[in-house]
Amino acid sequence: MTHPPAPQGCYRHPDRATLILCQRCRRPVCPECMVTAHVGVQCPECVRDGARATRAGEAPFGGQRSTNPRLTSLVLIGLNVAVFVAALLTGGAFGRVATLLAITPRGACLVDDGSGSYYPGIDQATCAAAQNAYWVDGVAGGALWQVLTNAFTHVEVTHLAMNLLALYFVGPPLEQVLGRSRFLCVYLVSAIAAAAAVMWLADPESSALGASGAIFGVLGALMIVARKAGGNYRMILAFLGLNVVITVLGGAYISWQGHLGGLLGGLATAAVLVLPTRQQRSRWQWPGVAALAIAFLVAIALRAIMLA
């Protein structure tokens, strides 16, 4: 049987029992002390701190507010478009740029007919001796840049348009709440987490590319932020569910591994940035983000060693 929480003494009036907690610092406050906020109630000190931070341009969860919260997303969109054009001009899906930047866990021996078919189980030396075939380096073979570059690479207009349209709509709201540096952390750590999932869960000779993993991470982060703020996160959850359905129905044409890894990476990074109290942020935010990034990179390195 679950027992209700015991009343505590108000932090300003210890003789007054209360069940009300400040939304930000979680200290008990009595009805006389509490201040009604946009979400829940706050204690007078947190209200003053919040007003001071707002005047100083501080974002709700630390860092500085972006003067233009669309800028980072627009820069990311521009990078994706530039890489797409470069891939298109160098042979498209199986051209030099696309195969160089997409993530392939072990590497693959592709049939030189533009179909994307490959010879399974063949190493680089055997591939070199085969006719009408060429070797594509993978992370296990030293192409470490693929861990990040795959998240900026597209070879189909539809794929590019869907991802960048999603980024245009979901990126700025997250940057507005977290600030530019924290938003970038969510995006990049989610991309690395997506790469880790591809390394461990996908066919070692297959390739994956696209910003979808990072965007799934942004969606997951938005859900954490909305949940923390007491906002309506059901629309985000519904949109995320729709994308999960598309991922499942897409089958072999969509990297569910990257989507899953990106989502988990975004949820974890947002939790580290959003859940600590104001007093704990300096202790947990940046060390926590660094620990997540290192953990995902270590997972990638271990898998690469196993596949080498």
Catalytic status, residue 212:
yes
At what angle are helices 157-178 and 212-229 packed, to 10 degrees?
30
| Residue 259 appears among annotated catalytic residues | yes
Contact assessment for residue 46 and residue 28, using Cβ atoms and an 8 Å cutoff: no
Distance (Å, rounded) from C-alpha 201 to C-alpha 205? Answer: 12
Backbone φ and ψ for 134, nearest 5 degrees, come out as: -145, 150
The active-site residue out of 38, 212, 255, 282 is: 212
91 torsion bin: left (phi>0), alpha (psi -120 to 50), beta (else): left
Instruction: Report whether 180 contacts 67 (CB < 8 A).
Output: no
Q: Are strands 133-137 and 107-111 parallel, antiparallel or unpaired?
A: antiparallel
Please state, in angstroms and rounded to a whole number, the distance separating the CA atoms of residues 149 and 156: 16
Beta partners for residue 110, in sequence order: 118, 134
Which long-range CB contacts under 8 A does 258-261 form with residues at least 24 apart?
258/194, 258/195, 258/197, 258/198, 258/208, 258/210, 258/212, 258/213, 259/194, 259/212, 259/213, 259/216, 260/197, 260/201, 260/216, 261/193, 261/194, 261/195, 261/196, 261/197, 261/198, 261/201, 261/213
Selected catalytic residue, list 66, 154, 255, 259: 259
What residues act catalytically?
A: 212, 259
